[in-house]
């Protein structure tokens, strides 16, 4: 099962007892229906739980029993659309181009219910462990435009992409996806997004520490190589004996411990790191 399907499973487990919310959620699904006219209604989905939820919601909202057929996908149909037109404020005598009738969203709970129906019918969410992406896509320009305005009143405004007759609203930021999922009634999925972000942050911090340690180790090795080379040059040039006893002792310690860090070499010589660094700079210069 995809992560997006698991989100929809969570939404389908959410109980809806208020008629106004049932109407709003059905309305959200109708905005992405395959067919909705004065003659017929048809909604097609791959999601079994959503298909069963639609039957229950349409019965609660409109007293309407949808015919359910299962082939490759689930198809819900009815030729009795009068209860829908009446409840949603459409004129059945005129052809319908689906638009968002805000007067249907009569209570504060209704916009979230509508967006839940929208996501169940036309939404997709990527696995947050891989990437952050939540989208709602459909074929109706007015729906995309008016849903964008509705989302902007409740959440950060979604990004929008119009291409080849398809209209997509989407979020790419983890916090925005969390807010959207929480609003429509999927707090467990929102928590998954939050946990994925925390895990990514931990991995990134660990990688930064590893990279930092590697860079420091490289600097230590390169500095030790330069110091050993400088000491060998002093010895081959006959200048080693002219060094002070402290510098000779430091040079011998470095030659005997070429892989030791500055702290380790300072411990061997029983001097401070700043003092050791000063002596090594004199040997290299």
| Structural domains of the chain in order of their starting residue, each with its CATH number | 3-185 (3.10.28.10), 200-284 (no CATH)
Please give the Cα distance from 263 to 279 (Å, whole number): 14
Mean pLDDT in residue range 35-62: 88
pLDDT value at residue 56: 92
Please give the Cα distance from 166 to 164 (Å, whole number): 6
Write down the pTM of the prediction: 0.71
Query: 242-266, pLDDT tens digit by residue?
Result: 788 888 888 788 888 887 788 888 8
pLDDT value at residue 93: 66
Mean pLDDT in residue range 28-33: 88
Count of residues in the chain: 285
Mean pLDDT in residue range 161-174: 90
Cβ-based neighbour number of residue 46 at 10 Å: 11
Q: Residue 22 gets which letter from DSSP?
A: H
Contacts of 124 (CB under 8 A, 6+ apart): 4, 134, 135, 136, 137
Phi, psi of 159 (to 5 degrees): -75, 160
Please give the Cα distance from 102 to 120 (Å, whole number): 20
Query: What ranges in the chain are assigned the alpha helix state H?
Result: 3-12, 19-30, 48-62, 82-88, 110-122, 141-154, 174-184, 187-236, 245-256, 262-269, 273-284
Query: Residue 282: pLDDT above 80?
Result: yes
pLDDT value at residue 252: 83
pLDDT value at residue 78: 87
Q: Strand, coil or helix: what is 134? A: strand
């Amino acid at each position: 099962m995809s992560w997006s399907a698991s989100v929809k499973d969570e939404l389908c487990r959410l109980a809806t007892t208020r008629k106004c919310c049932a109407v709003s959620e059905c309305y959200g699904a109708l905005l992405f229906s395959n067919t909705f006219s004065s003659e017929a209604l048809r909604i097609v989905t791959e999601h079994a739980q959503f298909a069963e939820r639609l039957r229950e919601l349409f019965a609660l909202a409109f007293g309407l029993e949808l015919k359910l057929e299962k082939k490759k996908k689930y198809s819900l149909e009815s030729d009795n659309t009068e209860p829908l037109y009446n409840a949603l404020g459409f004129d059945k005598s005129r052809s319908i181009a689906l638009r968002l009738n805000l007067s249907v969203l009569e209570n504060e709970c209704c916009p979230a219910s509508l967006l839940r129906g929208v996501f169940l019918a036309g939404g997709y969410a990527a696995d947050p462990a891989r990437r952050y992406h939540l989208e709602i896509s459909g074929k109706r320009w007015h729906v995309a435009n008016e849903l964008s305005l509705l989302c902007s009143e409740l959440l950060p405004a979604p990004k929008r992409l119009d291409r080849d007759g398809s209209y997509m609203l989407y979020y790419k930021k983890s916090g925005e996806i969390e807010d959207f999922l929480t609003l429509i009634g999927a707090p467990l999925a929102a928590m998954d997004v939050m946990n994925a972000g925390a895990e990514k942050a931990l991995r990134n911090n660990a990688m930064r520490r590893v990279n930092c340690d590697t860079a420091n180790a490289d600097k230590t090795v390169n500095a030790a190589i330069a110091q050993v080379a400088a000491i060998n040059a002093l010895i081959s040039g006959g200048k080693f004996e002219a060094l002070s006893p402290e510098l000779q002792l430091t040079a011998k310690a470095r030659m005997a411990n070429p892989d030791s860090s500055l702290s380790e070499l300072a411990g061997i010589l029983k001097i401070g790191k700043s003092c050791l660094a000063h002596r090594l700079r004199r040997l290299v210069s």
